[in-house]
């Protein structure tokens, strides 16, 4: 029987079954067993490979103490001598994605060991490591775990056995930005003409070099006289009235809310945060730390600005898709423009 290849698995505190946000600050630990997704992943490897252990690290700890976290993690990798490292999947969890990316880059750069991870295409970790690791494209939430793990396992088996990895659309990973030499029975000029004819005839065609599409937003003109301007306050920091009356989601927001602040001078006392992914203690103690209504009201009294707009707008940013964020911005912007607002203070966490 052939020797099994060895997989070392990395997860955060939640998937490592230590705890939720309250455990996001835990330092990395190593368990010589399969935990969380590593258990299901191990089963998918069959007789070809095995997960030899699980590294667990709090998302906050990794991102706030990256050097210390990587020192411990790399020592474990060197001691365990895996054939491949697997991280996640992180779905659309930004801090988790950045941690997986940090681990992936260090393992590939320092030890030249292949790494497989899984992320939603909009996770910020994708851009950090896609050129070095294989980032399988997965859903935006853990509800897609059943579909993510088999894709990651199949790619892991190919890498571990030294098999040729196919194109991104064939294997399910996010394009790495690499150009590969391939052989074709048609010259480039002929292929280009055929693509052009297909396009002109309304037929299906596929470009050989997809180009990135970027949003271009024309900057607004500067406000000439702030002392006469109406300024609105908008935040993605999840500051809402007590009870969260509009039931705005704490992550992957599907909606935004607006609240009348015309008769108050600060958010403290009546508001709190429902935003997931950061320590809420200081925001709950003084919500104006996230959305500074108190300072804007002071500026209004001092004549530095003309007026604070009567409504305050809010949503949550963690895990929120680019599509929804764009939609929120268009909707809120339309309201503000129609109300004659001159400028916006936009804050996050």
Which of these, 315, 183, 312, lies nearest to 246 by C-alpha position?
315
Per DSSP, what are the bridge partners of residue 316? 237
Which pair of structure tokens corresponds to residue 205? 């065609």
Per DSSP, what are the bridge partners of residue 56? 11, 29
pLDDT tens-digit map of 190-224: 999 999 999 999 999 888 777 777 778 888 889 99
Could you tell me if 273 and 238 are in contact, meaning their C-beta atoms sit under 8 angstroms apart?
A: yes
Per DSSP, what are the bridge partners of residue 84? 7
pLDDT tens-digit map of 118-165: 999 988 889 889 999 999 999 988 899 999 999 999 999 999 989 988
Residue 224 per-residue DSSP state: S
Residue spans per domain, the chain = 5-171, 226-347
Provide the 3-class DSSP secondary structure of residue 16. coil
Which pair of structure tokens corresponds to residue 50? 């095995």
Question: What distance in Å separates the CA atoms of residue 59 and residue 288, rounded to the nearest whole number?
Answer: 26
Could you tell me if 72 and 28 are in contact, meaning their C-beta atoms sit under 8 angstroms apart?
A: yes
Question: What distance in Å separates the CA atoms of residue 281 and residue 236, rounded to the nearest whole number?
Answer: 17
Which of these, 71, 85, 3, lies nearest to 38 by C-alpha position?
85
pLDDT tens-digit map of 68-88: 999 999 999 999 999 999 998
In the CATH scheme, what is the code of domain 5-171? 3.40.50.2300
């Amino acid at each position: 029987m052939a020797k099994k290849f060895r997989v070392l698995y990395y997860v955060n505190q939640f998937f490592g079954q230590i705890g939720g946000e309250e455990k996001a600050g835990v330092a990395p630990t190593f368990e010589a067993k399969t935990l969380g997704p590593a258990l299901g992943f191990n089963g998918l490897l069959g007789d070809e490979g095995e997960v030899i252990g699980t590294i667990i690290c709090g998302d906050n700890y990794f991102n706030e103490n990256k050097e210390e976290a990587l020192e411990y993690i790399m020592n474990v990798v060197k001691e365990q001598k895996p054939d491949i490292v697997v991280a996640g999947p992180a779905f659309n969890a930004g801090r988790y994605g950045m941690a997986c990316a940090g681990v992936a880059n260090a393992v590939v750069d320092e030890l030249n060991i292949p790494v497989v991870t899984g992320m939603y295409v909009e996770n910020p970790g994708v851009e950090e490591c896609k050129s070095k690791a294989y980032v399988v494209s997965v859903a935006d939430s853990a509800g897609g775990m059943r579909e993510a793990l088999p894709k990651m396992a199949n790619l892991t088996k190919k890498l571990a056995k030294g098999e040729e990895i196919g194109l991104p659309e064939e294997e399910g990973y996010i394009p790495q930005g690499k150009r590969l030499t391939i052989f074709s029975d048609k010259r480039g000029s002929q292929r280009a003409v055929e693509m052009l004819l297909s396009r002109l005839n309304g037929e299906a065609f596929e470009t050989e070099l997809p180009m990135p599409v970027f949003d271009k937003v024309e900057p607004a003109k500067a406000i000439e006289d702030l002392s006469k301007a109406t300024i609105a306050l908008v935040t993605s920091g999840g500051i809402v009235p007590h009870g969260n009356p509009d039931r705005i989601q704490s992550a992957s927001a599907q909606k935004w809310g607006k609240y009348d602040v015309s008769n108050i001078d600060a958010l403290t006392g009546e508001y709190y945060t429902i935003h997931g992914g950061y320590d809420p203690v200081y925001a709950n103690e003084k919500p104006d730390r996230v959305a500074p209504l108190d300072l804007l009201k002071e500026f209004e009294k001092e004549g530095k600005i003309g007026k604070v707009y009567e409504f305050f707008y809010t949503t949550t940013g963690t895990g929120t898709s680019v599509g929804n964020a764009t939609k929120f911005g268009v909707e809120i912007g339309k309201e503000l423009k129609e109300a004659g607002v001159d400028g916006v203070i936009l804050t996050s966490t």
